[in-house]
C-alpha cells in the first residue's frame, strides 16, 4: 500500500530517507523522522488494537505520551518489547511491530464478543462475578481472565539488552522543551547555572512545532531551533531529548528515563538501550505543558476519533492527513487551528462548535477561509465499526440538555477538542497542593512543598506571550539565587492569535432510545454508565470510584480521562470539582521498563562477588562453590565421580583421622586498638575479658540489648592495647556497626578504635590430629608443642619469608590452628600448607565438611544463633558472667528466659541410625497427635556423623535439658517424613573436649 | 531519596546511610539497678511520632560516624544534623 495520506511536502520528516517496516506482518513504507503512528496513518492504517475489556477496535487517539490505544509489541534486536506506544516509537529501517490484546488478529478478534455482551461487563464485574465458588478461582477464572485481559506479552527470555544508571546534579532541572522550558533554560544558562533540559520527544520545541506564532521575527519553530542550538553549545547545559522525567521524589531527587537507542534498529554493544538518570536538582522547573481533553459522545472510541491537537501534529510535523473528510468537534478555539491546517492543505473540514457563538482572530481566519462552521452543534455518535465512516450530528439546545435535528453526515475522522488539561503530575508528586482553576476547569499547582516551580501551560497559562515573559523572568530569578550572577536577556516580542473563551460543555447527552457507549477512560474501557453505576452502588470517594471502575488506572494513568471523570462525578453528586478532588498522582508518569530500573545490577552484577586470595587454587582443584553471603566459598572438592555427600564425608573423615585445611578468609575480622580495649570487650562480650593475657585468645559471645545472641567468635590479645576480633562471616558488618554505636554514642569516654580488617588477612584453618606436625614443618623455628603453643595460644612466625599469625583455635573440635597472612600472600601460604602437608595426607575441606565437624561436636553456629536464642538455649550459659555487667545482661533475667523448661540445644539421632533428618523438622512427642501437633522445637542442623557413621542432628527444643534419653519423633511435613528419634547430648563427639587441648 | 548532610562529610544521598532509630533513647548506665519496666522501655518501646523526630543514622558508606538527624517523619524535611556528641 502506498502512502495515500502523506502530503506532497511539509512536515519535519526527512523525505530523502525512505524506511520500510512491518506491522502485523504487512510491509509498509515511511520516512526517517516518522513515528510508527505517523507512518501507519500515512498508509491509512487506523485499526491498531483492541480495547482492554470489550475488545472494541481501536486506532490512534493522540500523538505522544498520552496515547491510550496504540500500544504495540515490538520485535527489535531479537528481543521482544511489549507495550510500546506507537506514538512514541520512532521509525527505523526494518522495524517490526504487532497489535496486542487481540486473538487471533486485530481484524477478527474473538474477544470482541465481550462488546456485544457488554451488559454483563459493568463496573466491578470481576469482583462480582468470579467470587464463587472459591475453588474455581485458580483453575478456571484466573487463567481465562489473564488470557483475555492485558496488553503485550513479556518475553520469558533473559533480556540481553543493556540498561544503565547515571547520577547527576544540577542547579535547574527543566522538564519539557516547549516555550516555557526553552525560555527558562536560556535565562538560567545565561546566568551560569548548571541546567538540565529534558524533552520526552525526539524533537525539541513542544507546542512551538505545531503552533502558528512568531517570536522575535522568527517562526516559533525557528526560534526553538535557535535556542536549542545555543543551549547545546554551552558547557553548563545538558540538553536531552527522548528523556522523560517520570518521578519526583524527596529532597528534589527526580528520575528520568532516557531512551538511548530505542529508535535505532539495533543496540550497539557499548551503548545502552535505555538509561535511568537520578538527578538531584537545586530547583526544578516543570514546563510539561498540557494535554488536550476529549469530548464525550457515543462511540467516541472508534478508530478515526482523535484529539484535534494530534491531528494537527500529524499534519505539521509528519505531513500526514489523519483523514480527508474530517469533522472537527470542539468547545474552544483550538479545534479551529486544526481545521485551518486541514484547509490550508486542500481538505474541507466541518467544524461543530458546542458554543452558541464565538468570535476571535482564529475564528475570523476560519471564516475567511470559508470553512463550514456549525455553532450549537455536537457529534451524537460516531458510526462505523473498524473505522469511522459517518457521524450522527445534532443541534444542541442552549441549556445543553436537549439535542434535535439529528442527521448523519459522512466523514472519515473526528478531531475532538475539549480544551486543555495542564500536566501537573510532577508537581503533584512533589507534594504540591494543587488547586482547581474555574476558568480552565482544571487543577493547577499552587503551594510548592519542594523547590519546584511550574510554568506555562502546565500552570494553566495558555497565552504564549505571558508564558515567554514569565519563563524568562523565572529562569533568571531562580538561577540568580544560586549563581549570584545576572546577565541581561531581552525578552523577544511574541505575535499570536487571540482566543475566545471555551465552553464548559463536554459530555453529549444520549438521544432518546439510544444506548451508545460514551467512553471516559479509553484504555480501561470505563464509560459514563460505569461511573453512574458506581455512584448508584454507593461509592462516593473519588479514590473508591477510581478503584471500582478502574478509571484512570491504566498505563496512561488517566492523562486524557481524569478530568472528565471528575467532572462527571461532581455533576452527578451535585458538587463542585474541587470538593470531589483529584486522585493522587504517583510515579511513574509514563511506564518505565523493568530493565531500566534494574540497570546493570543483574545476574552476577546484582551483588559484589567476593573471592578469597586462594580462590583460583580452589577452582583448579575442582572446588564446587557455594554462596556464603557475598563470598564464594568451596563447598567441597570433587574427586572423580563423587557427589556432595561422598566428598564432604571423605573430607571430614580425613580431618578426624589425619589433617585437613580449610579456607577461612571470609571470617569477619576487626582490629581493636586503644588503652580501654579490654574494658570495652568486657562490656561487649558476656564473659570476662579484663584478665586475658597478651598472646592469648578467648572465645566470646555477644548479645543484643534484648538478650538474644548476636554473634560469637574468638578475640586475641596481640599486645597490651591491641586486639584481633573475629566474627562470623554473615555478621561481620553488623558487628562493626554495633561496636561503633557503643563507642561513638553510648561510651564515648572509652579510648578505643575499631576498624574492619576482614580483607587484610587470608586465613587457613589446619585441623586434625596431625595438624601440629604440619605446623611444625611450616614454622621449623617455632616451639609449637603442646606447652609452647597451648590451646587458645597465639604466636607470630615467619612462613618461608612471609609474616604469619598463628592462633590455636578450633571450630572442628580437633587439634587445630588458624594461620593468617596478609591477603597478597594468601595463595603462597595455601600452596605451602598443601605441599608440606602432603606427607601427612592433608586434604582441603569445604564448608560442608566444616559443618559436619562442628555439628557432631555440638558447636553452635548461625543455624542455632538465629536471632531468636539466648546463651542458655545454645548451652553457652557457662560463658555468661554473673559478676560484671555487659550489653544485654539485664534482659537475661526476663521471666521467659529463666523458665525452668526453657528451650535448649540437644543432639538427635534417628532410631534406625539410617534416616537423615531434614533440617527444619519439628520435634514432637506423639507422631499421630491431632493437628496442630504441639511441637517441642525444631531441628536446626543435620549431618552424617563421620565419627559414628550415622545421621546426627542438632535441635533446639523445649526443656531440652531434661529431654536427654527420650524417644520422640522428628516430623517433616515438607518432606512428608516421620522419623522416630532419640534425644542425646549435643556434644556427640569428644564431649570432654580433650582433642582440642591435646 | 533523602539528602542528608553528614556533619563530617557534607551532603550525601540516603543510600550511603543506614537508619539507627530514636536518638533520644538513653541506655541505662552499666551496673545500675534498672526496673523491669524501665528496661522494657529502653529495649522495646519507641514512639512513632508524626512530625519532628530526632534520629540516628550511620554514615556506613562514608565516614562510618553515627550522626543525629532531626527530621519530619511526615514531610521528610530535615531541620538539622548533629555529630554524635552534640545535643539537639
Ligand atoms: Zn560522613
- Residue A972 belongs to domain with CATH number: 2.40.30.110
Residue A495 lies in a domain: no
Please list every residue in chain A whose beta carbon sits closer than 8 Å to the beta carbon of residue B85: 748
Q: What is the number of CB-based contacts under 8 A between chain A and chain B?
A: 52
pLDDT confidence of residue A136:
61
Separation of alpha carbons A173 and A279, rounded Å: 8
Chain B interface includes A705 (CB < 8 A): yes
Average pLDDT (A297-309) is 97
Q: Is residue A761 located within the same domain as residue A788?
A: yes
Average pLDDT (A413-421) is 97
For A:465-494, CB contacts with B below 8 A are none
Average pLDDT (A419-442) is 94
Distance B83 CA to ligand 1 centre (A): 10
Q: Do B39 and A890 touch (CB under 8 A)?
A: yes
Residue B33 lies in a domain: no
Residue B7 lies in a domain: yes
Opening angle at CA A357, ends A373 and A494, nearest 5: 85
Chain A interface includes B35 (CB < 8 A): no
Close Cβ partners of A738 (under 8 Å, ≥ 6 residues apart): A702, A710
Q: Is residue A473 located within the same domain as residue A535?
A: no
Q: Is residue A691 located within the same domain as residue A799?
A: yes
Q: Is residue A687 located within the same domain as residue A835?
A: yes
Residues A491, A496, A501, A502: is their CA dihedral positive or negative?
negative
In CATH, what number is assigned to the domain containing residue B16? 3.30.2270.10
In CATH, what number is assigned to the domain containing residue A257? 3.50.50.60
In CATH, what number is assigned to the domain containing residue A530? 1.10.10.1100
Chain A interface includes B43 (CB < 8 A): yes
What does the pLDDT look like over A530-570, one tens digit per residue? 999 999 999 988 888 888 888 888 888 888 888 888 889 88
Please list every residue in chain A whose beta carbon sits closer than 8 Å to the beta carbon of residue B42: 705
Residue B65 lies in a domain: yes
Close Cβ partners of A843 (under 8 Å, ≥ 6 residues apart): A637, A650, A651, A654, A658, A660, A661
Nearest CA in chain B to A707: B43
Residue A577: which pLDDT band, with cuts at 50, 70 and 90?
Answer: confident
Test mutation, A736, A745, A881, chain B, max B CBs within 10 A? A745
Domain count, chain B: 1
Please list every residue in chain A whose beta carbon sits closer than 8 Å to the beta carbon of residue B73: none
* CB-based contact A852:A648 (threshold 8 Å): yes
Residue A854 lies in a domain: no
Chain A interface includes B81 (CB < 8 A): no
Judged against a pLDDT cut of 80, whether residue A148 lies above it is answered with no
Chain B interface includes A165 (CB < 8 A): no
Q: Do B43 and A746 touch (CB under 8 A)?
A: no
Q: Which of A1-15, A222-236, A600-614 has the highest mean pLDDT?
A: A222-236
Distance A279 CA to ligand 1 centre (A): 21
Q: Is residue A475 located within the same domain as residue A504?
A: no
Residue B77 lies in a domain: yes
Residue B13 lies in a domain: yes
In CATH, what number is assigned to the domain containing residue A67? 3.10.20.440
pLDDT confidence of residue A117:
62
Q: Is residue A448 located within the same domain as residue A390?
A: no
**Percentage of the residues of chain A whose pLDDT score is greater than 70:** 95
* CB-based contact A820:A804 (threshold 8 Å): yes
What does the pLDDT look like over A22-49, one tens digit per residue? 999 999 999 999 999 999 999 999 999 8
| Full domain range(s) for residue A955 | 899-984
Minimum-distance CB partner of A251 among B3, B27, B85 = B3
Chain B interface includes A898 (CB < 8 A): no
Distance from CA of B83 to the nearest CA of A (A): 10
Separation of alpha carbons A258 and A242, rounded Å: 6
Residue B88 lies in a domain: no
**Percentage of the residues of chain A whose pLDDT score is greater than 90:** 83
Domain count, chain A: 6
Q: Is residue A535 located within the same domain as residue A672?
A: no
State pTM to two decimals. 0.89
Separation of alpha carbons A906 and A938, rounded Å: 10
Q: Is residue A204 located within the same domain as residue A317?
A: no
**Facing residues of A526 across strands?**
A521
Chain A interface includes B60 (CB < 8 A): yes
| Full domain range(s) for residue B74 | 3-25+38-83
What does the pLDDT look like over B28-84, one tens digit per residue? 999 999 999 999 999 999 999 999 999 999 999 999 999 999 999 999 999 999 999
Chain A interface includes B75 (CB < 8 A): yes
Chain B interface includes A912 (CB < 8 A): no
Place of cell 473508591: A544
Residue A994 lies in a domain: no
Judged against a pLDDT cut of 80, whether residue A150 lies above it is answered with no
Residue B30 lies in a domain: no
Q: Do B28 and A890 touch (CB under 8 A)?
A: yes
Residues A892, A895, A897, A900: is their CA dihedral positive or negative?
positive
What does the pLDDT look like over A203-252, one tens digit per residue? 999 999 999 999 999 999 999 999 999 999 999 999 999 999 999 999 99
Place of cell 554514615: B59
Minimum-distance CB partner of A705 among B43, B60, B75 = B43
Q: Do B2 and A741 touch (CB under 8 A)?
A: no
* A162-176, A294-308, A513-527, A795-809, range with the lowest pLDDT: A513-527
Distance from CA of B42 to the nearest CA of A (A): 9
Q: Do A748 and B75 touch (CB under 8 A)?
A: no
Q: Do A745 and B66 touch (CB under 8 A)?
A: yes
- How confident is the prediction for chain A on average, in pLDDT? 93
Q: Is residue A823 located within the same domain as residue A693?
A: yes
Q: Is residue A410 located within the same domain as residue A506?
A: yes
Q: Is residue A376 located within the same domain as residue A458?
A: no
Chain B interface includes A746 (CB < 8 A): yes
Query: What are phi and psi for residue A747, nearest 5 degrees?
Result: -125, 60
**Facing residues of A818 across strands?**
A765, A807
pLDDT confidence of residue A130:
55
Q: Is residue A702 located within the same domain as residue A839?
A: yes
What is the b/e burial string over A929-945, where b = at least 16 CB atoms within 10 angstroms of the residue's CB?
eeeebeebbbbbbbbbb
Distance from CA of B31 to the nearest CA of A (A): 6
Name the grid cell of A937.
522445637
Amino acid at each position: 500500500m502506498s502512502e495515500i495520506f502523506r502530503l506532497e511536502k511539509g512536515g519535519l520528516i526527512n523525505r530523502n530517507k525512505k524506511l520500510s517496516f512491518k506491522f502485523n506482518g504487512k510491509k509498509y513504507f515511511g520516512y526517517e523522522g516518522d513515528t510508527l503512528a505517523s507512518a501507519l496513518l500515512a498508509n491509512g492504517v487506523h485499526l491498531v488494537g483492541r480495547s482492554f475489556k470489550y475488545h472494541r477496535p481501536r486506532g490512534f487517539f493522540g500523538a505522544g505520551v498520552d496515547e491510550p490505544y496504540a500500544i504495540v509489541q515490538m520485535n527489535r534486536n531479537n528481543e521482544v518489547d511489549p507495550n510500546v506506544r506507537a506514538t512514541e516509537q520512532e521509525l527505523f529501517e526494518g522495524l517490526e511491530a504487532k497489535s496486542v490484546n487481540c486473538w487471533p488478529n486485530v481484524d477478527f478478534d474473538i474477544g470482541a464478543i465481550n462488546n456485544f455482551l457488554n451488559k454483563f461487563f459493568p463496573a466491578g464485574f470481576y469482583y462480582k462475578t468470579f467470587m464463587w465458588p472459591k475453588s474455581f478461582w485458580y483453575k478456571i477464572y484466573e487463567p481465562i481472565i489473564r488470557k483475555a485481559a492485558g496488553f503485550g506479552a513479556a518475553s520469558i527470555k533473559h533480556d540481553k539488552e543493556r540498561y544503565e544508571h547515571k547520577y547527576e546534579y544540577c542547579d535547574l532541572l527543566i522538564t519539557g522543551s516547549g516555550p516555557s522550558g526553552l525560555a527558562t533554560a536560556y535565562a538560567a544558562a545565561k546566568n551560569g547555572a548548571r541546567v538540565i533540559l529534558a524533552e520526552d520527544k525526539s524533537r525539541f520545541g513542544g507546542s512551538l512545532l505545531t503552533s502558528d506564532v512568531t517570536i522575535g521575527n522568527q517562526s516559533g519553530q525557528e526560534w526553538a531551533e535557535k535556542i536549542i542550538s545555543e543551549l547545546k553549545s554551552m558547557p553548563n547545559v545538558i540538553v536531552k531529548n527522548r528523556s522523560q522525567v517520570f518521578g519526583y521524589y524527596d529532597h528534589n531527587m527526580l528520575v528520568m528515563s532516557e531512551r538511548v537507542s530505542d529508535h535505532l534498529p539495533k543496540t550497539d554493544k557499548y551503548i545502552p538501550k535505555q538509561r535511568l538518570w537520578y538527578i538531584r536538582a537545586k530547583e526544578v522547573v516543570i514546563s510539561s505543558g498540557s494535554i488536550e481533553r476529549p469530548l464525550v459522545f457515543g462511540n467516541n472510541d472508534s478508530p478515526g476519533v482523535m484529539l484535534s491537537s494530534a491531528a494537527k501534529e500529524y499534519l505539521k510535523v509528519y505531513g500526514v492527513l489523519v483523514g480527508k473528510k474530517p469533522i472537527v468537534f470542539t468547545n474552544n478555539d483550538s479545534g479551529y487551528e486544526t481545521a485551518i491546517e486541514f484547509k490550508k492543505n486542500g481538505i474541507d473540514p466541518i467544524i461543530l462548535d458546542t458554543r452558541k457563538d464565538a468570535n476571535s482572530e482564529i475564528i475570523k481566519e476560519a471564516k475567511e477561509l470559508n470553512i463550514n462552521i456549525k455553532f450549537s452543534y455536537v457529534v451524537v455518535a460516531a458510526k462505523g465499526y473498524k473505522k469511522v465512516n459517518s457521524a450522527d450530528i445534532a443541534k444542541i439546545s442552549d441549556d445543553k440538555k436537549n439535542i434535535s435535528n439529528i442527521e448523519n453526515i459522512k466523514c472519515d475522522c473526528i478531531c475532538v477538542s475539549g480544551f486543555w488539561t495542564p500536566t501537573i503530575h510532577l508537581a503533584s508528586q512533589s507534594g504540591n497542593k494543587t488547586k482547581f482553576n474555574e476558568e480552565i476547569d482544571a487543577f493547577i499547582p499552587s503551594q510548592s512543598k519542594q523547590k519546584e516551580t511550574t510554568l506555562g501551560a502546565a500552570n494553566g497559562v495558555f497565552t504564549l506571550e505571558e508564558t515567554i515573559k514569565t519563563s524568562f523572568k523565572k529562569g533568571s530569578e531562580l538561577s540568580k539565587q544560586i549563581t549570584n550572577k545576572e546577565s541581561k536577556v531581552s525578552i523577544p516580542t511574541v505575535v499570536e492569535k487571540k482566543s475566545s473563551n471555551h465552553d464548559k460543555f463536554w459530555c453529549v447527552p444520549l438521544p432518546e432510545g439510544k444506548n451508545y457507549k460514551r467512553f471516559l477512560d479509553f484504555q480501561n474501557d470505563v464509560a459514563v454508565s460505569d461511573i453512574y453505576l458506581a455512584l448508584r452502588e454507593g461509592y462516593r470517594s473519588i479514590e473508591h470510584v477510581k478503584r471500582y471502575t478502574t478509571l484512570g488506572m491504566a498505563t496512561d494513568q488517566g492523562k486524557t480521562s481524569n478530568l472528565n471523570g471528575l467532572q462527571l462525578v461532581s455533576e452527578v453528586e451535585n458538587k463542585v470539582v474541587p470538593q470531589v478532588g483529584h486522585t493522587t498522582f504517583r510515579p511513574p508518569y509514563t511506564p518505565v521498563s523493568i530493565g531500566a530500573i534494574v540497570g546493570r545490577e543483574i545476574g552476577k552484577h546484582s551483588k559484589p562477588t567476593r573471592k578469597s586470595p586462594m580462590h583460583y587454587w580452589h577452582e583448579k582443584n575442582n572446588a564446587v562453590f557455594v554462596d556464603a553471603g557475598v563470598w564464594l566459598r568451596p563447598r567441597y572438592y570433587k574427586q572423580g565421580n563423587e557427589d556432595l555427600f561422598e566428598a564432604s564425608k571423605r573430607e571430614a573423615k580425613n580431618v578426624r583421622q589425619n589433617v585437613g585445611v580449610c579456607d577461612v578468609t571470609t571470617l569477619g575480622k576487626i582490629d581493636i586498638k586503644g588503652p580501654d580495649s579490654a574494658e570495652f570487650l568486657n562490656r561487649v562480650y558476656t564473659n570476662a575479658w579484663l584478665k586475658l593475657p597478651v598472646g592469648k585468645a578467648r572465645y566470646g559471645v555477644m548479645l543484643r540489648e534484648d538478650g538474644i545472641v548476636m554473634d560469637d567468635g574468638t578475640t586475641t590479645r596481640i599486645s597490651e592495647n591491641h586486639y584481633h576480633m573475629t566474627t562470623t562471616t554473615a555478621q561481620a558488618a553488623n558487628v562493626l556497626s554495633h561496636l561503633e554505636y557503643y563507642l561513638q554514642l553510648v561510651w564515648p569516654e572509652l579510648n578505643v578504635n575499631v576498624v574492619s580488617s576482614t580483607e587484610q588477612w587470608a586465613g587457613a584453618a589446619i585441623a586434625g590430629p596431625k595438624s601440629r606436625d604440619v605446623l611444625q614443618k611450616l614454622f621449623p623455628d617455632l616451639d609449637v608443642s603442646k606447652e609452647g603453643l597451648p590451646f587458645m595460644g597465639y604466636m607470630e612466625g615467619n612462613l618461608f619469608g612471609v609474616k604469619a599469625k598463628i592462633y590455636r583455635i578450633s571450630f572442628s573440635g580437633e587439634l587445630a590452628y588458624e594461620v593468617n597472612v596478609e591477603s597478597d600472600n594468601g595463595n603462597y601460604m595455601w600452596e605451602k600448607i598443601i605441599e608440606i602437608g602432603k606427607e601427612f595426607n592433608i586434604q582441603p575441606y569445604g564448608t560442608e565438611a566444616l559443618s559436619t565437624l562442628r555439628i557432631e561436636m555440638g558447636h553452635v553456629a548461625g543455624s542455632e544463633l538465629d536471632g531468636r536464642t539466648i546463651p542458655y538455649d545454645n548451652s553457652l550459659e557457662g560463658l555468661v558472667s554473673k559478676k560484671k555487667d555487659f550489653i544485654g545482661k539485664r534482659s537475661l533475667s526476663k521471666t521467659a528466659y529463666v523458665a525452668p523448661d526453657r528451650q535448649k540445644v540437644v543432639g538427635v539421632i534417628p532410631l534406625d541410625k539410617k534416616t537423615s533428618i531434614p533440617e527444619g523438622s519439628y520435634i514432637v512427642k506423639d507422631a499421630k497427635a491431632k493437628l496442630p501437633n504441639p511441637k517441642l522445637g525444631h531441628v536446626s542442623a543435620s549431618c552424617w556423623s563421620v565419627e559414628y557413621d550415622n545421621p546426627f542432628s542438632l535441635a533446639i527444643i523445649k526443656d531440652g535439658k531434661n529431654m536427654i534419653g527420650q524417644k520422640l519423633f522428628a516430623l517433616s511435613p515438607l518432606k512428608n517424613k516421620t522419623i522416630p528419634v532419640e534425644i542425646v547430648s549435643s556434644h556427640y563427639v569428644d564431649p570432654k573436649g580433650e582433642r582440642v587441648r591435646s | 531519596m533523602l539528602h542528608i548532610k553528614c556533619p563530617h562529610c557534607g551532603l550525601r544521598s540516603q543510600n550511603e546511610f543506614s537508619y539507627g532509630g530514636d536518638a533520644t533513647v538513653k541506655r541505662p548506665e552499666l551496673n545500675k539497678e534498672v526496673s523491669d519496666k524501665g528496661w522494657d522501655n529502653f529495649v522495646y518501646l519507641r514512639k512513632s511520632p508524626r512530625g519532628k523526630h530526632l534520629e540516628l543514622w550511620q554514615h556506613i558508606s562514608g565516614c562510618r560516624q553515627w550522626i543525629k538527624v532531626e527530621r519530619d517523619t511526615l514531610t521528610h524535611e530535615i531541620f538539622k544534623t548533629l555529630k554524635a556528641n552534640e545535643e539537639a
